[in-house]
Structure 1
């Protein structure tokens, strides 16, 4: 098929050239038979245009060097990025116009507020530059492929194209919400509000204090109690919770609609927020990411653990395939004791409900974060959500596409909001 296409293009060029020769021969014949200034002027004008077009056909675009600059190879979701494309020519090729188009992944191109294309008109400059802006980057891994250049003669009969490979990768890390406020519940008449920091503090409840022993973390020292007791005292946390977070991300989504994908992205933000908080507090944390495949990051702490998890969260994608419930059932028996288990999902199923019940019966502290973009859900899913609450799980429904409206039910009527 490609062979036939190349033959067709070659024949098309030959026919165009024959047509031009025919025009020149026709105007020469007209001048010879008609005579006079006008006919010969027409012939010389057409001949000049014909010679210019022959030169255009003969002279190639030449060697072009294309460079792309956007400041960094990694960025944070929501940030603005300006891309600068520079074309350098060894010698000024005479073109009537030059179209330059920067090619990239379709997912990144959809985020542009303008076309990554520029038209340059006749100039003697050896260096041409243009910019375009991505107003708000979305989390993910993207690639810039190369730059396509195109020009043609004044009649558009003959076109020249050149593709310059200039591949570069861009990794956009997920955004997160800084957790720093430690005030507990703010009681109101009709609802109880809980900040994102309180959500984490809720799973790090301090049970008491004991005398400091060598090897204890300095960050765990309770200075107020130490001052009263006149000796170093270390905070003791709830035995069933400890200082460990094990987060499970359900990569499977019901569909690829914008609302569902936005809910999935907010789930990534929530997990990233807990990762950043845990890193600052020097806590142990891990992640199980389950979709078509299972990616497990065991409990650990430190900068390396943070980098591994954030890098994975930047690249993970929602999928409609994969049996999350089956994979979760196989792995749930390996949950370490004394771990706060945080499940982040965009859907609830009966099998998932039964598995969480089993974990609760084993005295595992379970936190279920149902990521939604609107409170109106399927009645069966809402019933499963309420059932988890009745069984003893701490449930949060994060709605409106952001963490400022996280709603959790308590006894069917009371709501708790993460903000």
Structure 2
């Protein structure tokens, strides 16, 4: 309970006005005393009762994706009347001042009032929404009563998954690379069935007769193509010379990993995930998609050189002709040796290299700085397919022109 100084000042001025209007000092003192005492007593009683029985419940989606709009519904109720109540909720996945949401109730008379707001979840991870704070200075603005209502809700925010069709060059590069690897593998190719045509499918695989009957493109699917294994190796090692808690380059790599993951699941791959000293064996379908997204939602950078363990796991569990998509911000001589070992094992390696913002030398599109050009060369010499990124720019085409 807090006394409002502005309101007290107002009543002192009122007292002076009353004094000026009375001739008899005794009558004035009695009248003023009764008036002020009554006002203070009533204010105190109403301020205590106003939100003492206030309760709240919250309804919110348990799972969402980064940068999606989330709707939050609050329901407030009380056994006794409540008036002029300021309600404040804390939406923790938002950024900065957007985390605090202020709402207002004019009157709550033993009924339920529903309030709602919408906010963008800009941060990935698992968050606890709340608590709800209620504040009222009714009546007469003399006392301010605050209550903290311990109402919490959990929400899991997956990393943003970008439809790769929105990045034509990216879609073309990754899909074409992976599908080319699948269709050039030898062995039995027994006919399995048909499915809808997808971006990157070979024109030769289209069943034109069935497509004409169904009035849509369908492709022949062969047994060898089903259940093919693609691994994502995700780099969680902190970059050298980077001590920032929030690393833009790392967050971008998380978004790329989530987007590649969904793209490969949508293309019927069995997708596995390797990060740190842990891994998930390949599988297909929505269950596998969300199992890996759960890990990407909570993944953080680590100080230790755990990337080497990831490469060791890749060498041990990936089989010949598997596809390994590496998403990394770090490269050194030791990592290059692991990539060469993977290539020697006949594992098809696609290396998405995110150029760290802390990298020495300014990255100019034309020409590339010599240091970055050398780093790209080192990766290419291993036999891996390289697709470098800097911020939001795919610079593979520029790099290839420079070769």
Deviates more, 1:268-277 or 1:374-383: 374-383
* Equivalent position SS for 2:131: strand
* Equivalent position SS for 1:68: strand
Aligned to 1:204: 179
CA distance in 2, matches of 1:142, 1:397: 33
CA distance in 1, matches of 2:326, 2:377: 16
- Aligned positions, number: 359
User: For residues 176-325 of structure 1, what are the structure 2 equivalents within 5 Å?
Assistant: 176-179=161-164, 194-205=169-180, 206-207=183-184, 213=190, 216=192, 218=194, 223=205, 234=222, 243-254=228-239, 255=242, 257=244, 261-290=247-276, 294-313=277-296, 315-325=297-307
Question: Which among 89, 98, 101 is matched to residue 102 of structure 1?
Answer: 89
- The CA deviation at 1:209 is 8.1
- 1:161 equivalent to 2:146? Answer yes
CA distance in 2, matches of 1:54, 1:194: 68
- Give the 3 Å change call, closer, same or farther, for CA 317–157 of structure 1 in structure 2: farther
Question: Which among 346, 365, 371 is matched to residue 354 of structure 2?
Answer: 371
- 1:69 equivalent to 2:67? Answer no
Aligned to 1:186: none
User: 1:81-123: CA deviations, max 9, x gaps?
Assistant: 2323231112204x5x423221343xx2426647312344566
Structure 1, gaps ≥5 residues long: 1-8, 14-18, 182-192
Aligned to 2:394: 406
Contact 1:397 1:407 in 2 (8 A): yes
User: 1:13-58: CA deviations, max 9, x gaps?
Assistant: 9xxxxx9xxx9xxx9xx9xxx6444333212211212321442476
User: 1:208-251: CA deviations, max 9, x gaps?
Assistant: 8887547x565599656999xxxx994877xxxx9321111112
- The CA deviation at 1:332 is 3.4
Structure 2, gaps ≥5 residues long: 196-200, 210-219, 364-368
TM-score, reference length from structure 2: 0.72
CA distance in 1, matches of 2:71, 2:97: 10
- The CA deviation at 1:199 is 1.5
TM-score, reference length from structure 1: 0.70
- Give the 3 Å change call, closer, same or farther, for CA 380–118 of structure 1 in structure 2: same
- Give the 3 Å change call, closer, same or farther, for CA 99–337 of structure 1 in structure 2: same
User: 1:351-371: CA deviations, max 9, x gaps?
Assistant: 323322332344432211122
Contact 2:91 2:100 in 1 (8 A): no
* Equivalent position SS for 1:266: helix
CA distance in 1, matches of 2:262, 2:313: 25
* Equivalent position SS for 2:237: coil
CA distance in 2, matches of 1:337, 1:415: 32
When the two chains are superposed, the root-mean-square deviation of aligned CA atoms in Å is 4.2
Contact 2:95 2:123 in 1 (8 A): no
- Give the 3 Å change call, closer, same or farther, for CA 415–268 of structure 1 in structure 2: farther
* Equivalent position SS for 2:130: strand
Aligned to 1:340: 323
- Give the 3 Å change call, closer, same or farther, for CA 84–347 of structure 1 in structure 2: same
* Equivalent position SS for 1:166: coil
CA distance in 2, matches of 1:338, 1:355: 17
Deviates more, 1:340-349 or 1:113-122: 113-122
Contact 1:340 1:364 in 2 (8 A): yes
* Equivalent position SS for 1:55: helix
User: 1:118-173: CA deviations, max 9, x gaps?
Assistant: 34456657444443331454332222132122334668775433222222111222
Contact 1:139 1:173 in 2 (8 A): yes
- Give the 3 Å change call, closer, same or farther, for CA 53–379 of structure 1 in structure 2: farther
